[in-house]
Structures are given as structure tokens and as C-alpha cells.
């Protein structure tokens, strides 16, 4: 059943089994997809009329603006910003009828609200994101060898754990869902115990009574706890 859409999922799960610094495999998948979309936004496709119309209208969220800046392609970004700003200004100004009817203030509010709520990259990522979750659950359900890969993960960040569990609950039969929950919770509970132990030891190390004790695995406990509690913050993304 190794279809093309399962390949990146299998690769991410295998890498997270092998790599010391890799953590949530869904974060790894998402980071790779997000990086591709960010590069595309400033690549050749930015000059395509259909893409330019969308970036002019939607713009980008603050996180994706940050990632676009980090591409070190300031001219392309400036060209995108120029046409985006011009589009926003035109929407705020409206037409003569808007001016006559006193609707300029409404235009300003509506346009400013759109800047906060829209992002070209986020909207492109959403359907792929949902498909990643769906295909991961289906791989578990219909590919027997995938179960071992899932059980070998260090953990799933809690937001992705919730998404996987919700999809499985809605789509799998009771027997498959119970099996999925058992295996997923085994991975998650094991890491919960580990990260609580490490973060507790990290706190103790600030007590003079533990000054001579080793750090064990607790030196990066704060960073790992945050990665566990929030998606989109994998080691790969932090090291870009």
C-alpha cells in the first residue's frame, strides 16, 4: 500500500526513530511542508498572476512574515509587499460611492481586520495538514508494519496527539480506535513521565542542596517541555 502520499509520512516517522534531536514526527512533516511553501512564496511562482492576486489580497501572518524575512530574498519580498500594500490602500479608500455614503471608516476597519485574519501560506497549508493527519491514522489502520514505527516514536506533541486521536475516533471502527488509543497513549504517557521527571530535576538544580548533583537529561528540559506542549516548534524548525 506504499502510495505516494504515504512516503513522506513513513520517512518522517523513520527519521524520528533514528535521529537524536528529532521529536514529534507530525511536526517534522509540517515543518518540511511549511518550508516548501515559504520558499515558493518568494520563488518564480510569486510572479504568476493567480499567486500574486492571492498574496495581494491575503498577505501573511506574523510567523510567516518572519520566515519570509529569514529567506534572505529581500527584493522578492519587497515586490510582494509593494503590491500587497497598494491593494490594501485601494480597499481602504474604496470608490466614489463609498465616499459619498460615508463608508470609508467601515472599509478601514474591514481591511485592517482582514490583515489580522488572513495568510496566504496558512491557507495553502491547511488542506495538506489535514491530509497528513488522515493518512497517518489510515497507515496505522491498514499497514501492519506502521504500528511498530508509531510505537517507536519519542512522543507526539499534544496538539498533534489531539488531532490524531480525534480523527481516529471519528473515522475508525471501535476495535481499531481502541487499539490506536492504546498504542498512542502508551507513547504519550511514557514521555509525560520522562519530561515531568526532567523538568522537576531541572528545578531542583537551582536549590543549593543539589548543586553537586549531575544534570542528567534535564539541561534542555524547558525547551523539550515547550516542544511537547506546542506544535510547530520542532528542532528542525528552530535550527532553520
Full-model pTM:
0.83
37-90: pLDDT as tens digits: 999 999 988 888 889 999 999 999 999 999 999 999 999 999 999 999 999 888
User: Containing domain of residue 227, as a range?
Assistant: 4-238
The separation between the first and the last C-alpha atoms of the chain, rounded to the nearest angstrom, is 33
User: What pLDDT was estimated at residue 113?
Assistant: 74
How large a percentage of the chain has pLDDT more than 90?
73
User: What pLDDT was estimated at residue 114?
Assistant: 67
Average per-residue pLDDT for the chain: 88
Please tell me the distance from the alpha carbon of residue 185 to that of residue 106, in angstroms, as a whole number: 49
- Which residues fall within 8 angstroms of residue 212, CB to CB, at 6 or more apart? none
Instruction: Answer yes or no: is pLDDT of 178 > 80.
Output: yes
User: What pLDDT was estimated at residue 164?
Assistant: 97
Q: Does residue 16 contact residue 28 with C-beta atoms inside 8 Å?
A: yes
- pLDDT grade, residue 3 (50/70/90)? low
| Residue 115 CB coordination number (10 Å) | 14
User: What pLDDT was estimated at residue 101?
Assistant: 52
Q: What is the mean pLDDT of residues 8-17?
A: 94
Query: How many domains does the chain divide into?
Result: 1
Instruction: Answer yes or no: is pLDDT of 238 > 50.
Output: no
Supply 48's cell numbers.
504568476
DSSP of 91-140: HHH--HHHHHTT-HHHHHHHHHHHHHH--HHHHHHHHHHHHHHHHHHHHH
Amino acid at each position: 500500500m506504499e502510495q505516494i502520499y504515504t512516503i513522506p509520512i513513513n520517512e518522517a516517522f523513520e527519521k524520528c526513530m533514528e535521529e537524536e534531536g528529532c521529536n514529534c514526527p507530525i511536526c517534522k512533516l509540517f515543518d518540511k511542508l511549511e518550508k516548501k511553501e515559504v520558499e515558493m512564496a518568494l520563488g518564480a511562482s510569486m510572479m504568476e498572476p493567480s499567486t500574486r492576486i492571492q498574496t495581494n489580497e491575503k498577505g501573511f501572518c506574523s510567523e510567516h512574515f518572519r520566515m519570509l524575512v529569514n529567506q534572505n530574498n529581500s527584493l522578492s519580498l519587497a515586490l510582494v509587499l509593494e503590491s500587497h500594500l497598494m491593494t490594501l490602500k485601494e480597499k481602504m479608500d474604496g470608490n466614489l460611492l463609498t465616499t459619498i455614503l460615508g463608508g470609508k471608516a467601515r472599509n478601514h476597519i474591514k481591511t485592517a481586520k482582514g490583515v489580522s485574519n488572513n495568510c496566504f501560506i496558512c491557507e495553502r497549508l491547511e488542506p495538506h495538514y489535514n491530509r497528513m493527519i488522515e493518512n497517518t491514522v489510515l497507515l496505522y489502520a491498514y499497514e501492519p508494519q506502521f504500528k511498530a514505527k508509531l510505537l517507536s516514536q519519542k512522543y507526539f506533541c499534544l496538539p498533534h496527539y489531539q488531532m490524531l486521536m480525534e480523527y481516529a475516533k471519528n473515522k475508525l471502527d471501535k476495535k481499531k480506535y481502541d487499539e490506536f488509543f492504546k498504542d498512542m497513549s502508551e507513547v504519550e504517557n511514557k514521555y509525560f513521565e520522562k519530561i515531568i521527571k526532567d523538568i522537576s530535576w531541572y528545578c531542583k538544580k537551582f536549590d543549593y542542596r543539589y548543586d553537586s548533583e549531575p544534570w542528567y537529561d534535564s539541561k534542555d528540559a524547558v525547551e523539550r517541555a515547550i516542544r511537547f506542549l506546542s506544535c510547530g516548534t520542532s528542532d528542525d524548525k528552530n535550527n532553520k
